[in-house]
Amino acid sequence: MRKQQGFSLIELLIVVAIILIIAALAVPNLVRAKIAANEASAAASERTIGTGNWTFFSTYNNGFALTLGALGPPPAGTVSSSTKADIIDATLAAAVDATHLKSGYFFTYVTGAAAPTTTYSVLARPGSPNSTGNSTFCLDPTNPLKKDPAGSTTGPGATGCGTYAGAAM
């Protein structure tokens, strides 16, 4: 009697079944980890915008930036100015709608009246709720970053995050 070489079909099916069970357990954890990483990035981006706005305020002596893009880099070959201050990176400066995301989030930036503006608020919202993130974040010149785990989509106005549903982090 000759000895069998290789694996039988049953043995291969058992191995595939075990791999599928492990994958079914791992994928939800991977999604939750990705959401947590995106939310941490959004909170850090909010703090970057806040710090950048105070830098803008003290550098140009003309209030806070009127747009998020004003904190971003200038076109190639030009120097920074109050319209393109080169304080935050281009990806963050362009993340202003659901088609331009930074780590799954976009940022709604609102200011007071024309320059010099003394107040602003910025709301970070997930591009795809329950997929890229769950929470929303708000920041204004008073500087406590506020988080709403329920993901409120109605954000603050030019007066700041005072009526925002989130709690300070």
pLDDT, average across residues 131-146: 89
90 assigned to some structural domain:
yes
Q: How confident is the model at residue 88 (pLDDT cuts 50, 70, 90)?
A: very high
Instruction: Band the pLDDT of 149: cuts 50, 70, 90.
Output: confident
- 2 inside domain: no
Pick the range with the lowest mean pLDDT from 112-116, 132-136, 140-144: 112-116
**Are the CB atoms for 127 and 95 separated by under 8 Å?**
no
The residue range of the domain holding 18 is 9-168
Flag whether 4 is in a domain: no
Q: How many domains does the chain have?
A: 1
Give me the long-range contacts of 6-9 (CB less than 8 A, separation at least 24).
none
pTM of this structure: 0.82
Task: Check residue 152 and give its pLDDT.
Answer: 74
Q: Whole-angstrom Cα distance, residue 109 to residue 123?
A: 7
